[in-house]
Amino acid sequence: MSNEGQGRDIQPADGTLGILLVGLGAVSTTTIAGVESIRRGLTKPIGSLTQMATIRLGKRTEHRSPLIKDVVPLADLNDVVFGAWDPISDDAYDSARNCGVLRPEDLEPVADFLKSIKPMPAVFDKAYVKKLDGSNVKQGKNKYDLGEQLRADIREFKEKNGCDRLSMVWAASTEVFMKPSAVHDSLESFEQAMRDDDPAIAPSMIYAWAALSEGVPFANGAPNLTVDIPAMVELAKRNGVPIAGKDFKTGQTLMKTIIAPGLKTRMLGLNGWFSTNILGNRDGEVLDDPESFKTKEESKLGALEYILQPEMYPDLYSHMYHKVRINYYPPRGDNKEGWDNIDIFGWMGYPMQIKIDFLCRDSILAAPIVLDLALFMDLARRAGMSGIQEWLSFYLKAPQVAEGLYPEHDIFIQHMKLKNTLRWLAGEDQITHLGVEYYD
Ligand SMILES: NC(=O)c1ccc[n+]([C@@H]2O[C@H](COP(=O)([O-])OP(=O)(O)OC[C@H]3O[C@@H](n4cnc5c(N)ncnc54)[C@H](O)[C@@H]3O)[C@@H](O)[C@H]2O)c1
């Protein structure tokens, strides 16, 4: 698909953008505190492509590399307001204090702003997140009714805050493992199941349904199914709304999708990849429940298989053993430690090992992803792009793709896809890196 020279018709990013966050825990509060600190000139938007990255346009001899935000119209951070839902009634300041990601000296200067963000009552059911309790919860006749209440929240928030547009991101706890079932196959069966209080309808799906019904883009930062079911794809298409998922690509999987493509490009073999983590935040506690862990495990395991393609390279990857472990260890809080032991082999089969010890900060890595997803999804909406936004798989551990496609996990291909989509939106030439013309 080429539209060189004739960019996509994109509505301007004028007015206020409301970013609605489901969950007001570590990731959400770190995102909000960071955006407010940036607005007050206290810090820089490190890790965010929408704020910091440039994009090369045209030939290398043209020396054109503007900022992404100068090439496509993105909402300005000064025009962003935040809202959230959470079953725990702490405001964003108290929640951020409890989560312990940011130091008091970084929280205090934006305390007034954080205190002003109070979570709306959540659609929450302990059956889907076993290790959590909360009283700031909606009551309703059935799941359809709960969805209607969320729709009313969305409309009220928009009205009260004078928003021109909204963008929603799921940054709430990981729900128990669920497989797609017949009720997820069409919007009609999905809505009937909502009325029937069917257990196959998880709270995250009710938020997604409410967002898409209101024409609000929805990105899923956790590994739950949520929008990755035919019924939600149908609703997104019908209402012309973008969707993306799932699971923010932050610590260990970020490393995996950086390193594995490199090994493969050099045709080095892999016998095994053992990954283990210790973390002590609430996310770690939720993931201590085997059913929530199973959801996460599925999401974390996929990347290597897709990147290495053992069916195409049986000599290199068919005996690869891949294991992922997450251990809840309270003393570490949000400061996770992730170890990787990688057993590789080279010429004549000689074994070698790579060890990675990533002293990572989960929410620090996730916050710019939340911001970028919210802004790019809003851009997609204004550009008339609806349904699955595969070009945003760069940010996601288990990218949602069209039926019949395999997900692309290689971060370098994902990055090229993202930038080429932006060039396509702006009516600029795609960059293939062929470069023969420089030598003619
Ligand atoms: N931090 C990362 O690097 C990272 C990476 C990938 C995915 N994630 C995912 O992002 C999500 C958020 O992570 P976190 O570290 O902020 O966790 P957290 O536990 O600090 O925050 C999650 C919040 O969601 C709330 N919540 C649970 N169910 C809800 C519901 N039905 N409606 C509204 N709120 C609900 C909880 O009360 C909690 O406050 C998790 O699912 C996590 O797995 C995080």
**Domain ranges within the chain, ordered by starting residue:** 17-248+364-426, 252-359
What is the CA(315)–ligand 1 centre distance, in A?
40
Residue 7 pLDDT greater than 90, yes or no: no
Q: Which of 305, 318, 310, 317 is nearest to 256 (CA)?
A: 305
CATH of domain 17-248+364-426: 3.40.50.720
Sheet (strand 321-328) strand order: 321-328, 269-279, 337-345, 351-359
Classify 327 as helix, strand or coil: strand
* Minimal-distance CA residue to ligand 1 atom 17: 283
pTM of the complete model: 0.94
396 neighbors 302 (Cβ within 8 angstroms): no
Classify 357 as helix, strand or coil: strand
* Mean pLDDT for the stretch of residues 345-369: 96
Residue 90 pLDDT greater than 70, yes or no: yes
CATH of 252-359, one of 1.10.150.570, 1.10.240.10, 3.30.1490.100, 3.30.360.10: 3.30.360.10
- 218-220 vs 269-279, strand pairing mode: unpaired
pLDDT by residue (tens digit) across 204-241? 999 999 999 999 999 999 999 999 999 999 999 999 99
Mean pLDDT, the chain, whole residue set: 93
Residue found under tokens 């951070």: 77
Q: Is the CB of 222 under 6 A from ligand 1?
A: yes
Whether the bond between 246 and the residue before it is cis, its omega within 30 degrees of 0, is: yes
In whole angstroms, give the CA distance from residue 302 to residue 401: 14
End-to-end CA distance of the chain: 27
Give the number of residues written for the chain: 440
Q: Is the CB of 86 under 6 A from ligand 1?
A: yes
What is the CA(284)–ligand 1 centre distance, in A?
10
Which runs of consecutive H residues, i.e. helices, occur in 199-324? 203-213, 230-239, 252-265, 282-287, 290-308, 314-317
* Mean pLDDT for the stretch of residues 187-213: 97
